[in-house]
Structure 1
C-alpha cells in the first residue's frame, strides 16, 4: 500500500494544493504577494521554508464557510479533505485530522484538556472573532501536548493598522427547508476597534440563536441528549484585545474572551429503526436535569520584543477554563444501590478543567541559520463530577508539563535547499489522589500517585525549492500527548491498581513521516502529500456499555492528500479539487502486529472535494461538493460499514460600500443521509441513529465601517 501511494504522490504532483484555502479567486497570485507565515509553527519563517503541510483559511474564506454551515469545525471539514466529517453536534468526539486527534488552540492557547477530553474544544470561541484559521497537518510537538493529528490554531482579530476607529458587524438569519417557525435562527454581533498612536483596542459581542435542524425528508433531527447539540441552542460571546507599543520594538498585548452555549432542553429524542434505515427524530418535551451547555473562557498576556540580543522574543502567559455539562440519564455507569434501586438513579456529568501556562521563544538569524529557542510550561487541573449526586466520576487530577525546545533552519545555496530540525524535551507529571471508582466498576479502591514521564522528541526534514513557487520536502517528526486519562482512570475494573505503575496512562508517542511536492506558479496552486504514522501504544476509543473507554493498542495510519486549484480560460472562474485517502489499522490482540481497521469512531472516510469560484466585479459565486466515499471496516461489525454520501453547498455574495451581503445554502439538494459518526457505530442503538442536516439557507450581512 505504501509503495502504491508513494507512486501516486510522485506521479500526481500537479493535482493538489497545500494552501488551498489561501487561493486568489481572481485566478492568479500577485508576484509580490507576501509569503504566508503560520504563527502556530513557532517561527517567523514562511511556511514554504518548513518541511510540513500547512493550510490557512483566511477571513474572507472563513466568513463564507461559516455562513454556509455555522461553525469553524464545519468550515474545516468542508475545506480539508483529511478532516473527518463534522458531526453537526456540540461534541466533536470521533472528529479526527489524518486519523488522529488534533490540538485546538486560540492564539496558541490550548483548548484541548489533556486529562479528560470533553470533545468540545472546537466550540470555545465565536467565529466572528476569528481572523484566520491555521492548520498544521500531521503529528508534531510544535505546540506541546495534544498535536498527534495536527494543530488547528484560531488566530483572533486585531485592531486596524492605521489610526482611527473601525466597526465590523454581522446580521444573519437562517431557515431550514420548509421554513417552519421552530427552524429559524439568527445571529447578531459587533466589533469596535481603535488605534491611537501607541495604543490599540478591539472589543465586541455576538449572540446566536440556532433553531431546530431537519433532515432531507423534513423530520426533526434527534438531539444528542448526552453529548449535547448545536440545534435548538443559544450562545453569547464576548471578546476584547488591547495592546500598547512600549518603544524599541517592544509590545504588550492582553486578550480575553468568553463563549457560552446552552441548549434549550425542550427536545426529546424518539428512536428510529436502524433495520429499516429510519433515523431517530425529536418531539417537544421536557428533558430531565440541566440542558447540556459549554462554557469556555481564556485570558492571555503577551510580550514581544523585536530586537533582544539580536533576536525576537515572544512570551505569552495564559489562563483557560472550560466547564461542560452533559445530558443525564439512568445510565448503567451511574447506578449505585446504596443511593437508589439499580436502574432508577438519574445523574449527569460535568467536566471542569482549569489550565494556565507560559509559552516563551526567542528567534534569531545567524547568517543562513535561523534558530529558535524556547520553553513551554503547562498546568492543568481537571475533575469530572456527577452533578446530581456530587460524586467524582474522574478523580481530581493535576497535570504539569515543562518542555524546553530548540529548532534550527539552515538555508543553503541561496535558500534553494533548507535543512530543518530540532528537539523538544517533554517532562510530564500527573498527580492523582487515592480514590474509589463508581459502583458499576466494582467498585475498586485505586492507589493514587504522581507518575512522571520524560521523552526527547526529535524532528527533522529537508526542503528543496529549485525555483520560486516549486518545492519538495521530506520530514520526520514525533507527536506527543497523554491519553484521555479521565476515561482510563474512571473505568479501572482490576483490584489493587497503583497508578504510579499503571502503564495505561503513559503518553502516546506518534511517529510521523511525510513526503510532499508543491507548485504555486501563476494560476496553478497544487500539491501532493504522502504520509505514514504509527504509535506503539496508541489511543483507541471503544464502546463499552453506554460510554466510550480508551484502549491502548498499536496503531498505524497512512494516507495521501491531493489538491489542485487553478484559473480557467473564463475570466474570474477558478476551479478546485481535493482528495484524501486514509488507511488506519490497529492491533486488537496485543501481538504487536496490526490486524484490523480503525473504526468510524477513530478515523474518517476517503474524501473528494470539488469547488468552483466565479468573481465578476462585486459579485462572487461559490459552489462546492463534498463526497464521502463508502467504507468497509475489516475486522469490525459489518453493520457499521459506511454507505457514503455527497453534499452540495453554495454561496453568492455582493460587496457594497456598506459591507457584504451573502445568500448561502448548505446541502442544496436536500440530500437525505445518515451522518458518518452515527452510521459507523452503535449498530443496535436506534435512539442515537442521527440523520444529517437537510437544506438550510442563510441570508447575512457583514458590515465594515
Structure 2
C-alpha cells in the first residue's frame, strides 16, 4: 500500500512506531496507505475508516454508521490516532473515534498490527495513525481544492450528497502556514433493492447528515534541523434528523428501512476539537528528538428512540420519580477532555553505532462522563484517568544487517478516580430471594491504581535485500470500557477501589512473519496469536445497549497479502486473505470454550484487486469476499445463538481518475453490481431486534474534481 514511497526508493518511516528506523528494521507488521491510495478509497466509500477496513483483510467490515462499536482489527479494538494523539475515550468508549477528522486533511494512514503499547493506552488490536498534511516545501502560495457529488443508483432526490474542500499553504523563509476547511452533506443511503437503508437513531448515522472540519497548521524552523508546529482541528458531524426508522422483519429477510419524519430529541452528533504543539529536531546531539503536548475535547451526542420494533411507544431511561411510565424520553451524551504530553529521543549509541536506543515518556489525563441531556441525570459518573509511562527501546544491527534484534519495555502507571454515585433507576437489582428491584444502587467511589511493565521484543532475518522474516512478542495495555461497567452495576456493596471488573486489559501478541518486496512482487504472510486473561467481551444488555464482561480471550489468525506488477506497464494485481478464530471462557474455569461472536470478531475474508496507473489514468477494481461463519461452543456448553450465524456476501467497487491540465476528474462506484446484502454487524447480533437489521449500501456513484496549485 505504500507505493509512492517504494517507487521513489526512499525508506518508509512510520511515525506511529516511535522510531526513525525504516519499517523493515522493526519486527512488526506495518502498512502505510499513501495519499493516492487513500483518496481513491475515500472517493469510493466516503471515510478514512471505510478506506482502511476495505484495504485490510483482518479488519472487520464497517457498519456504515457513525458508531464503530464492534469493529475490530485482528479481533481486538484498534487505537485511532491523529499525529499520534489518541482519539479514543479510554474510560467510556463511544465508538466515534473513527470520525474525528476529514480525510481531505490526512496525508497518509499508518497501520501497526497487533497488540502493542507504542502509543500508550489502547491499541490491543493495532494502531491506525492518521498523519495530517505536512508543511509546504515550496516558497510562496499553494493549495488544493476538491468538489464532489454523490448519488444512489436511481438518483433519488433525498439520496444526493456533496462535498467541498479547500486548503491553502504558504511558506516564507522559516515560517509556513496551512489552513483549510471542508463541508460535506450526505443524503440517505439506498440498498441493492432500492429501499432506504435503516437508521440507527441512537448510535448515530453518517447518512442524512452534515459534516464540517476546520484545520490549521503553523510552523517555524528554529534551526536547520529543528522546528515548531502548532496543529489545530475542529470536526463536527451532525445528523439532520429528517427520517425515522421503519422496522424490518428478520424472519422474511426484510431489512430495517427509513421514512420521512422528525427523529425524537436532539439528533445524534459527534464533535472533536484538538490542539497540538510539537517541537522536533532530527539532529539534536546526534539524535532525533520529538516532543508534543496536546489537548483534545470531544462531545458525542447519542440519539434516542421512542418506538419499539412493533411501532409501540416506549419510555427511554424510565424513572417513576420524574415522570409516569410512558411519559419520559431522554438521551445520552459522552463528554471527554484529555490533556497529554509525549517526549522521546533516539540515536545510535556513541562508540557502538550498530545499536540504536530510544528513551521516552508519555503522560495522559482524561476526564469523561456520560450524561442524560434532557433531565441532567448522570448515567456514567465522571471518571478521571491518569497514565504515566516511561519507556525504552533498543535495536541492534548485526552482521551488516543480516540480523536485527529489537526490544524494549514500558512501565504503565494508571490511576482511575470515580466519586460515589447512584446508578439510574432503570438498573435492575437482583435480590437474594430472586426478586427484582428497580431503582438503582449506591456504589462507593475510589481511586484504584494499576501498574505493569509491558515488554516487547523480536528478531529479524534479512538474508537478501527485500526479503525478511521476523518473530516478535509484544504486550498491549488498555482500560476496559469502565463506563459500560459502572453504569450496569446492579449489586449493593460494590466499592470501586476493589472492583476487579475495571482492571486494565493486558493482551499478549505473538507473530511470525515473512515479507518479500523484490522485483515485481510485494507480498507478506503473518501468523499471529494473542491472549488476555481478563479480556473485554461485549454482550447484549438492556434495550440495544451492550454491557461488558471480563473473560479470558484467545485469538489466532493468518493474514496473507500479495501484489504483483503485470507485464502490462502500470497494471498490478493483488490478493489478500485473513483467517481469524477467537474463543472466550464462558464459565470462568480459565479454559476458552466458546466462539467470539460477530460483535467481537471479524469474518474471514478474501480481497481481490486490479490497479492501473500510467500517464494521466489511474484506476482500480476491487472485490471483498466476506466468508460465511458459524459460531460454536464445546460439547456440554451453552450454544451461541445460531440465529447469529453469518451467511457471507461479496461487494465490488471501482474507480477511475483522469488527470487534465486543470485538475483531475474521478468517477467512483461503490457496490458496482448493486448487490443486496445484510451487513455483518446486523447479521451477527441482536437476532430478535427488527430495528437493528440493516442492509448494506447499494450502488452509489461519486463524481469528483480536485486541483492542486
TM-score band, normalised by shorter chain: over 0.9
* Residue in structure 1 matched with residue 528 of structure 2 by the alignment: 531
**Matches of 1:274 and 1:655, distance apart in 2:** 46
Question: What's 1:55 paired with?
Answer: 31
Of 331, 336, 357, 1:348 maps to 331
User: Paired residue for 1:212?
Assistant: 188
What SS does the aligned partner of 1:289 have?
coil
- Separation in structure 2 between the aligned mates of residue 504 and residue 226 of structure 1, nearest angstrom: 26
Q: Does 1:101 align with 2:77?
A: yes
Equivalent position to 2:505, from 499, 504, 508? 508
Aligned to 1:75: 51
Distance 1:332 1:511, change over 3 A: farther
Task: Tell me, yes or no, if structure 1 residue 121 matches structure 2 residue 97.
Answer: yes
Could you tell me how far 1:29 is from its partner in structure 2? Answer: 5.2
Separation in 2 of the partners of 1:29 and 1:69?
25
Q: Distance in 2 between matches of 1:689 and 1:462?
A: 46
Which residue, 367, 380, 385 being the options, matches 2:366?
Answer: 380
| Structure 1 residues 386-440: Cα deviation after superposition (integer angstroms, max 9, x where no partner) | 1111000000110000000000000001111000000000000000000111112
Contact 1:29 1:523 in 2 (8 A): no
Counterpart position of 1:46: 22
Which runs of structure 2 are paired with 1:684-699 in the superposition (5 Å)?
A: 684-699=688-703
C-alpha displacement of 1:164: 1.9
Among 409, 415, 436, the alignment partner of 1:429 is 415
The answer on 1:363 being equivalent to 2:349 is: no
Q: Is the CA contact 1:23–1:565 (under 8 Å) kept in the aligned structure 2?
A: no
Report which stretch shifted further, 649-658 or 505-514: 649-658
Q: Does 2:299 align with 1:313?
A: no
Distance 2:317 2:510 in 1: 43
With 604-613 and 248-257 compared, the bigger mean Cα shift is at 248-257
Q: Give the TM-score normalised by the residue count of structure 1.
A: 0.95
1:662 equivalenced with 2:638 (yes/no): no
Q: Determine the structure 1 residue equivalent to 2:636.
A: none
Aligned partner of residue 514 in structure 1, secondary structure = strand
Equivalent positions of 1:436-475 (< 5 A) are: 436-441=422-427, 442=429, 443-475=440-472
Alignment of 1:92-491 (within 5 A): 92-329=68-305, 334-366=317-349, 367-441=353-427, 442=429, 443-491=440-488
Q: Secondary structure at the match of 2:426?
A: helix
2:554 is aligned, of 548, 553, 556, to 556
Asked whether the 8 Å contact 2:347–2:358 carries over to 1, the reply is: yes
Deviations 1:22-75 (A, max 9, x none): 236xxx954x60111110000000010000001100000000100001000110
RMSD value over aligned CA atoms? 1.1
2:3 touches 2:34 (CA, 8 Å); kept in 1? no
Q: Is the 8 A contact 1:176 1:695 kept in 2?
A: yes
Equivalents in 2 of 1:470, 1:456: separation in Å?
A: 33
Matched with 1:14 is none
Q: Residues of 1 paired with 2:294 and 2:612: CA distance? A: 42
Cα pair 2:386 2:415 within 8 Å, conserved: yes
Q: CA deviation at 1:305?
A: 2.1
Question: 2:623 — aligned with what?
Answer: 625
Deviations 1:123-150 (A, max 9, x none): 0000000000000000000000001000
Q: How many angstroms does 1:636 deviate by?
A: 1.1
> What SS does structure 2 have at the residue aligned with 1:334?
coil
> In the aligned structure 2, how far is the partner of 1:406 from the partner of 1:400?
20
Asked which structure has the greater RCO (Cα within 8 Å, sep 6+), the reply is: 1
1:52-107, CA deviations, whole angstroms, 9 ceiling, x for partnerless residues? Answer: 00110000000010000100011011100000001100000110000000000000
C-alpha displacement at 1:570, in angstroms?
A: 2.0
Cα shift at 1:573: 1.3
CA contact (8 A) 1:333 1:440 kept: no
- Could you tell me whether the CA contact under 8 Å between 1:460 and 1:475 is conserved in 2? yes
- Offset, 1:322: 0.6
Q: Distance in 1 between matches of 2:119 and 2:578?
A: 25
Matching of residue 86 in structure 1 with residue 62 in structure 2 = yes
Structure 2 spans left out of the alignment, 5+ residues: 307-313, 430-439, 633-638
Stretch moving more, 439-448 or 276-285: 439-448
Deviations 1:297-351 (A, max 9, x none): 1100001123333322111000001101001135777111111123432100000
Query: Which residue is 1:585 aligned to?
Result: 583
**Alpha-carbon distance in structure 2 between the residues aligned to 1:148 and 1:564:** 25
1:360-402 deviation line (CA, Å, top 9, x unaligned): 0011112001100000000000010011110000001100000
Q: Give the secondary-structure state (helix, strand or coil) at the position aligned to 2:393.
A: strand
| Superposition deviation, residue 248 in structure 1 | 4.8
What's the secondary structure of 2:320's corresponding residue? coil
Structure 2 contact 304–316 (Cα < 8 Å) conserved:
no
Q: CA deviation at 1:249?
A: 2.0
Provide the rounded CA distance (Å) in 1 between the counterparts of 2:627 and 2:193.
Answer: 22
Q: Give per-residue Cα distances to partners, 1:202-255, cap 9 Å, x unaligned.
A: 110000000110000100011111000000000011000011011152211100
SS in structure 2 of the partner of residue 563 of structure 1: strand
Counterpart Cα distance in 2 of 1:332 and 1:682: 20
Unaligned runs of 5+ in 1: 1-20
Aligned match for 1:639, one of 633, 638, 643: 643
- Who is 1:7 aligned against? none
Could you tell me the TM-score, scaled by structure 2's length? 0.95
**In structure 1, what is the Cα distance between the partners aligned to 2:209 and 2:199?**
11
Q: Distance in 2 between matches of 1:468 and 1:108?
A: 30
Q: Secondary structure at the match of 1:639?
A: helix
Partner of 1:17: none
**Counterpart-to-counterpart distance in 1, 2:347 and 2:593:** 48
Counterpart position of 2:310: none
